[in-house]
Chains A and B, each alone.
Chain A
Amino acid sequence: DSGVTQTPKHLITATGQRVTLRCSPRSGDLSVYWYQQSLDQGLQFLIQYYNGEERAKGNILERFSAQQFPDLHSELNLSSLELGDSALYFCASSGPLAGDYNEQFFGPGTRLTVL
């Protein structure tokens, strides 16, 4: 168990809909990262937050947005969903209490299926 929690575990929705994925980082971790894993694209970085502020953006679509709250949990919002958005979405966290500040610990993921 990495200490990173994600909810829900599975999400099935229809095209055009909007969903919210939630992540709670490991206790003490300030950074949260979101990654998308699809069969043909591998693990792709979406966005990073550090202590409530956006730190870096990857190949995140304009239909997607995220935020990190004062209690450090993060939410990834996906809107106007398309079939191609079906994927596993992982949250990872890292922080100053880790033995190595580069270490990122991944949650169990949310499997999104868009029908």
Chain B
Amino acid sequence: QQQVKQSPQSLIVQKGGISIINCAYENTAFDYFPWYQQFPGKGPALLIAIRPDVSEKKEGRFTISFNKSAKQFSLHIMDSQPGDSATYFCAANWGAQKLVFGQGTRLTINP
């Protein structure tokens, strides 16, 4: 019940394309769903986050779509750029609790 399942494990997208990463969760107590971006040798950096009272949140080229009934959420990266090549982690928690992370998606944007 504590798991967050993320797919795909790896993703290759052409420059200018749309990158889509999906996550699913079981625990309905989760009320905060962040996405983290991690470059090699660096710590995860908070990219964007959503709460279940909204179905979509957009920040620049990054959009989270949230489906509460399906217990799924996804990250869309529009106009993907080579600089977006990184590992992306979805996560979930409630209160000021530990983050439960997905397994990560290694995204490569081909020029």
Which residues of A are in contact with B by a Cβ distance under 8 Å? 2, 4, 31, 33, 35, 42-45, 48, 50, 56, 58, 90, 92, 94, 100-109
Contact = CB atoms under 8 A, between A and B. Distances in A.
Given A42-B101, A43-B89, A106 B95 contact: no
Contact of B95 (A90, A102, A105): A102
A39 B42 CA distance: 14
Contacts, number: 60
20 contacts: A2-B43, A2-B45, A4-B43, A33-B98, A42-B104, A43-B89, A43-B99, A50-B96, A58-B98, A90-B44, A102-B31, A102-B32, A102-B34, A102-B94, A102-B96, A105-B46, A106-B43, A106-B44, A106-B45, A109-B42
Contacts of A56: 97-98
B20 interface: no
A2 B103 CA distance: 22
Q: Of residues B43, B89, B102, which shows the largest number of chain A Cβ atoms within 10 Å of its Cβ?
A: B43
